[in-house]
């Protein structure tokens, strides 16, 4: 290893001597360069060099070469400042060696990590930026190692097309890539773009020679100007004689024929590539969309026929896909922006056409996804017209959109496509409109149907009921409070604690200041914990109730309630930890009763959870801080005895 490294360093002597003789680096700096290179060379000669070793060496050499070039420019400016005549300096070995060295490191890296595509592309980019002659060879290597990677073929073809101006080679690479990766959307799209770009360049050359005019790229401004001139052609009547007018007419016809020639060629090209692409990827919806976008961005012969053909094929192949219908409807709106229809009536008519597409889609593909896409579209339309969804109210168009949304919700329910998400969205929509009574009726109806077990739906229903009660006054009557409690009782008794977490929190907050209802809620929570058991981790209903009572009624009442919960068969570790935290905080302030209660809670918890290491540690920590050394040691030895093999953390009492 040392011999190889020394040999490689000796090969750098001429370069380093040249750098010193030209005054770019000092001897001390060169010694540091040698030191760093020796370190990197030893890393690369290890039995298993890492990728990062190669990258670090490349980064170092790149930065060093950048510094060399800066100092060379500075030295040249200094010579000019001294009045010496500027002479063209011949490039020496120090100008070529850095690039050669970096290329060699890249070569070693990619040979070591042939499967690392990112490393290959870094290598290619370096070759491209430095305009190195090894680019073609590297491209051939990466294609050989990664023939199934579409990006490699696209990169190689782009280099041939843009850098070498070799269209034939670029076309051959693209076609080879399509044979190797026929299922790549990117390859098909980029191949079409390349061919159309080449055709446009040929047309641009004709324009530069004065043999043609215009481009294949569709320019809305030019189209509008042409349309205006045709509509006002009387303003552009020639003042010359009829012969010149006829000659101009003939020349215009010849120019149009040339234009048609390029447009027909582009049209035929698009048809050929499109047919090959859909044959290779018949189920790719995004590919069809990209072809349609390309068609709409260029001027080709029979563009309307081509567009109609693509749309027919899409409807034939994707009519069962909700995404297709959503795209088709939104295409109506994008067509309006392309054609420049900016007035309100035109946009509204376009939107009505989009709504018709959605209505057809709901008949063809009645699904929850389709209804969701339709409703979201209408919500976007309202938001764009009114600025904010909350300000629906007044526009005639907005009112019709709101009516369409409500009909869509009703139809989703009748067809059995109403999911939990759509149902919650429907109730929220009524609420945003300010129709609380209607929202209440809809929520009541939905909660008694197939969505009976939906927690989110019940949460919305309860919140709507509360808003209906409190909309006129901040407080509620006894009868209203009783009806809300019965509603809570209905849902809380049929759902597990973990499912109804948000409902329990809402109920505790709502009845916090209503003593009788809150006591009933505590009884209800005791029954729920007795039925489902307490929580080991996560949400603990009993802990939530204790914390509410502590904040509302104080410590004495909180102790009474948590003792009732602890008397249940399975109160849960989370409750024990919460009560221990409550009592230990008071004990740390000098409350002797709290220290006694803390020890009782720990003993009660360890009776069930004696294998919980953290519980033993916390107990020992409390005794260390608030108890005596004897009580702390006793807890330590009990923990060692109880945990046995699990007591890896209990090496000594001091480290507990």
- Residue 33: inside a domain: yes
Mean pLDDT of 65-79: 88
Q: Is residue 44 part of a domain?
A: yes
Cβ neighbors of 274 (< 8 A, separation 6 or more) are 192, 291, 310
| pLDDT tens digits along 319-341 | 999 999 999 998 887 765 555 55
Does 61 reside within a domain?
Answer: yes
Residue 367 has pLDDT above 60, yes or no: yes
> What band does 395 get if pLDDT is binned at 50, 70 and 90?
low
Q: In this model, does residue 342 exceed pLDDT 60? A: no
174: pLDDT strictly greater than 90: yes
Most confident of 203-207, 469-473, 646-650: 203-207
Q: 98-141, pLDDT tens digit by residue? A: 999 999 999 999 999 999 999 999 999 999 998 888 899 999 99
Q: Where are the alpha helices (DSSP H) in 45-92?
A: 51-81
pLDDT in tens, 620-643: 999 898 888 899 999 988 888 888
pLDDT of residue 2: 85
Q: Is residue 46 part of a domain?
A: yes
pLDDT at residue 241, rounded to an integer: 45
Report, as an integer, the average pLDDT of 89-102.
86
Burial 481-517 (b: 16+ CB within 10 A, else e): beebbebbeebbeebebeebbebbebbbebbeebeeb
528 - beta bridge partners?
none
| Res 220 pLDDT > 60 | no
Q: Could you read off the pLDDT of 27-68 as tens digits, one per residue?
A: 999 999 999 999 999 999 998 999 999 999 999 999 999 999
49 falls within a domain: yes
The pLDDT, as a whole number, for residue 237 is 45
Q: Do the Cβ atoms of 377 and 330 come closer than 8 Å?
A: yes
Q: Could you tell me which of 166, 263, 162, 254 has the C-alpha nearest to residue 210?
A: 254
Q: Report DSSP state, residue 534.
A: -
If one compares 288 and 350, the residue with the highest pLDDT of the two is 288
In the predicted model, is pLDDT for residue 654 greater than 60? no
pLDDT of 646 strictly over 70: no
What is the radius of gyration, based on Cα positions, of the chain? Answer: 39
Q: Is 152's pLDDT higher than 60?
A: yes
* Total Cβ atoms within 10 A of residue 229: 11
Task: Examine the pLDDT at 221 and tell me if it is beyond 70.
Answer: no
> Which residues on adjacent β-strands are paired with residue 217?
298
CA–CA dist 448, 461 (Å, integer): 11
Packing angle of the helix pair 27-44, 2-10 (nearest 10 deg): 140
The model's confidence at residue 370, banded by pLDDT at 50, 70 and 90, is very high
Split at pLDDT 50, 70, 90, the class of 213 is: low
How confident is the model over 235-258, as pLDDT tens digits?
Answer: 444 444 444 444 444 455 555 555
Predicted confidence at residue 447, as pLDDT, reads 87
Q: How confident is the model at residue 603 (pLDDT cuts 50, 70, 90)?
A: very high
Between 133 and 473, name the one with better pLDDT.
Answer: 133
Predicted local confidence at residue 655, as pLDDT:
46
Residue with tokens 């809809």: 442
pLDDT at 651 over 50: no
Q: Is the per-residue pLDDT at 296 higher than 60?
A: yes
Whether 577 has a pLDDT exceeding 80, the answer reads yes
- 100 in any annotated domain: yes
- Residue 330 lies inside a defined structural domain of this protein: no
Structural domain boundaries, residue 8 = 1-79+92-113
Task: Say how far apart CA 621 and CA 608 lie, in whole Å.
Answer: 20
pLDDT of residue 334: 73
Total structural domains in the chain? 1
Residue 377 to residue 332: CA distance in whole angstroms: 12
Would residue 141 count as lying in a domain?
no
pLDDT band at 1 (very low <50, low <70, confident <90, very high): confident
């Amino acid at each position: 290893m040392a011999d190889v490294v020394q040999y490689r360093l000796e090969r750098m002597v001429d370069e380093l001597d040249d750098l010193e003789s030209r005054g770019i680096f000092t001897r001390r700096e060169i010694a540091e360069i040698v030191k760093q290179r020796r370190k990197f060379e030893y890393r690369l000669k290890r039995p298993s060099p890492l990728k990062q070793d190669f990258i670090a060496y490349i980064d170092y050499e790149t930065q060093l070469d950048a510094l060399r070039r800066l100092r060379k420019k500075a030295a040249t400016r200094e010579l000019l400042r001294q009045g010496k005549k500027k002479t063209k300096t011949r490039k020496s070995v120090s100008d070529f060696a850095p690039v050669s060295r970096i290329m060699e490191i890249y070569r070693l890296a990619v040979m070591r990590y042939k499967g690392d595509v990112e490393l290959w592309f870094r290598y290619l980019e370096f070759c491209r930026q430095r305009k190195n002659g090894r680019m073609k060879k590297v491209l051939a290597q990466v294609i050989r190692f990664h023939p199934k990677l579409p990006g490699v073929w696209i990169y190689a073809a782009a280099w041939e097309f843009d850098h070498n101006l070799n269209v034939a080679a670029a076309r051959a690479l693209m076609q080879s890539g399509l044979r190797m990766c026929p299922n790549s959307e990117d390859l098909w799209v980029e191949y079409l773009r390349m061919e159309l770009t080449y055709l446009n360049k040929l047309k641009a050359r004709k324009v530069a020679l004065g043999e043609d005019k215009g481009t294949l790229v569709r320019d809305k401004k030019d189209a509008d100007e042409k349309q205006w001139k045709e509509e006002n052609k009387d303003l552009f009547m020639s003042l010359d004689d009829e012969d010149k007018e006829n000659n101009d007419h003939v020349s215009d016809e010849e120019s149009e024929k040339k234009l048609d020639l390029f447009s027909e060629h582009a049209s035929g090209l698009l048809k050929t590539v499109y047919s090959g692409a859909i044959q290779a990827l018949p189920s790719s919806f995004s590919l069809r969309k990209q072809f349609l976008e390309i068609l709409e961005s260029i001027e080709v012969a029979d563009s309307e026929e081509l567009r109609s053909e693509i749309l027919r094929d899409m409807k034939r192949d994707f009519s069962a896909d909700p995404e297709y219908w959503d795209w088709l409807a939104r295409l109506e709106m994008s067509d309006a922006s392309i054609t420049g229809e900016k007035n309100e009536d035109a946009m509204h008519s376009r939107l009505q056409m989009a709504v018709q597409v959605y209505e057809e889609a709901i008949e063809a593909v009645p699904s929850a996804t389709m209804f969701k896409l339709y409703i979201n579209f209408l919500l976007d339309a309202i938001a764009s017209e009114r600025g904010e969804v909350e300000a629906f109210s007044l526009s005639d168009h907005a009112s019709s959109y709101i009516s369409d949304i409500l009909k869509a919700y009703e139809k989703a329910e009748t067809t059995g496509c109403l999911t939990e998400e759509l149902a919650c969205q429907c109730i929220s929509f009524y609420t945003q409109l300010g129709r609380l009574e209607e929202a209440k009726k809809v929520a009541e109806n939905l909660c008694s149907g197939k969505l009976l077990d939906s927690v989110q739906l019940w949460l919305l229903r309860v919140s709507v009921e509360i808003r209906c009660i409190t909309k006129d006054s901040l407080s509620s009557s006894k009868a209203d409070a009783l009806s809300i409690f019965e509603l809570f009782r209905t849902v809380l008794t049929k759902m597990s604690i973990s499912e109804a977490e948000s409902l329990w929190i809402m109920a505790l907050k709502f009845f916090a200041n209503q003593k009788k209802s809150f006591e009933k809620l505590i009884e209800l929570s005791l029954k729920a914990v007795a039925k489902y058991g307490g929580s080991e981790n996560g949400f603990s209903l009993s802990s939530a109730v204790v914390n509410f009572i502590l904040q509302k009624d104080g410590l004495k009442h909180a102790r009474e309630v948590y003792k009732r919960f602890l008397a249940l068969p399975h109160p849960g570790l989370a409750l024990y930890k919460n009560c221990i935290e409550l009592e230990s905080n008071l004990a740390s302030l000098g409350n002797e009763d709290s220290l006694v209660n803390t020890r009782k809670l720990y003993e009660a918890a360890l009776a069930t959870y004696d294998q919980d290491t953290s519980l033993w540690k916390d107990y020992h920590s409390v005794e260390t801080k608030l108890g005596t050394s004897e009580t702390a040691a006793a807890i330590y030895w009990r923990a060692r005895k109880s945990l046995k093999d699990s007591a890896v953390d209990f090496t000594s009492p001091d480290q507990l």
